[in-house]
């Protein structure tokens, strides 16, 4: 753990003077300690959102609020944060209970995203906003410029498409839930009038619904080619 923490500090460019702060940020609630990552995650989430909002405001001076909001949502979503957490090997630094570790907690996207935000929170408390901004700008890099146009959430796009066709709103229903309580998997059934229903799974209802909407678009695009 000591070596993993040292590597993490090197990657983020900051050696914590208060080791208890970063250790709390890296402690999962399954350990049973009240001093875990959850409060720092709350703080880090707000710091991260403000930093990304500031960067987008400067990077896209002519965009409307709604477009900036869509970019922000895409750049701070859990899957995105988990991908960055994996790039810096955050999973190997997290303290878990034995059961959580054996169930794959170190590879769980939800946990990785949450702990990544807690690290941001810890960094903010020790070094302030400017240090967090420098780190986030470094880790996000060219990702801020990848989207040539503001992304639209698949569910929003599907809803607007259905309305434009005079169809009822798409329906998302939980058709199954599996896995342990600490790491559930949701199966969502998406129904659109006039089309076969389809199913998708995710580690949260929101993730599964988003994937289902994306699968619908992929299928519709494929059918249009035939």
Which H/E stretch holds residue 5?
Answer: helix 2-12
Question: Is residue 120 scored above 60 in pLDDT?
Answer: yes
**Residue pair 154/217 in contact by the 8 Å Cβ criterion:** yes
Does the global pTM surpass 0.75?
no
Active site residues: 45, 117
Domain with CATH 1.10.1520.10 in the chain: 2-146
Q: Domain 2-146: which CATH class?
A: mainly alpha
**pLDDT tens, position by position, 5-58:** 898 999 899 999 999 999 999 999 898 888 999 999 999 999 999 999 999 999
Domain with CATH 3.30.160.20 in the chain: 154-225
**pLDDT tens, position by position, 97-111:** 888 888 888 888 889
Sheet holding 198-202, edge to edge: 171-178, 185-191, 198-202
Find the mean pLDDT for residues 88-96: 91
- Calculate ∠ Cα 204-138-27, nearest 5°: 45
Question: What is the CATH architecture of 154-225?
Answer: 2-Layer Sandwich (3.30)
């Amino acid at each position: 753990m000591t070596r993993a923490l040292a590597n993490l500090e090197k990657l983020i460019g900051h050696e914590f003077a208060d080791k208890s702060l970063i250790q709390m940020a890296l402690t999962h609630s399954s350990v049973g300690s009240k001093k875990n990552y959850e409060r720092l995650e709350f703080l880090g989430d707000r710091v991260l959102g403000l930093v990304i909002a500031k960067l987008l405001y400067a990077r896209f001076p002519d965009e409307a609020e709604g477009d900036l909001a869509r970019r922000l949502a895409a750049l701070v979503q859990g899957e995105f944060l988990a991908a960055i957490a994996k790039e810096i090997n955050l999973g190997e630094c997290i303290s878990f209970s034995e059961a959580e570790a054996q169930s794959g907690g170190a590879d769980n996207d939800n946990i990785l995203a949450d702990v990544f935000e807690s690290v941001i929170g810890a960094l903010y408390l020790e070094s302030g906003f400017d240090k967090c901004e420098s780190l986030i700008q470094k880790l996000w890099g060219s990702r801020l410029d990848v989207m040539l146009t503001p992304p639209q959430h698949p569910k929003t796009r599907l809803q607007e498409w259905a309305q434009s066709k005079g169809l009822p709103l798409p329906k998302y229903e939980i058709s199954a839930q599996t896995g342990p309580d600490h790491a559930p998997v949701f199966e969502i059934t998406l129904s659109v009038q006039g089309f076969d229903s389809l199913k998708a799974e995710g580690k949260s209802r929101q993730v599964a619904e988003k994937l289902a909407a994306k699968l619908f678009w992929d299928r519709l695009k494929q059918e249009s080619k035939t």
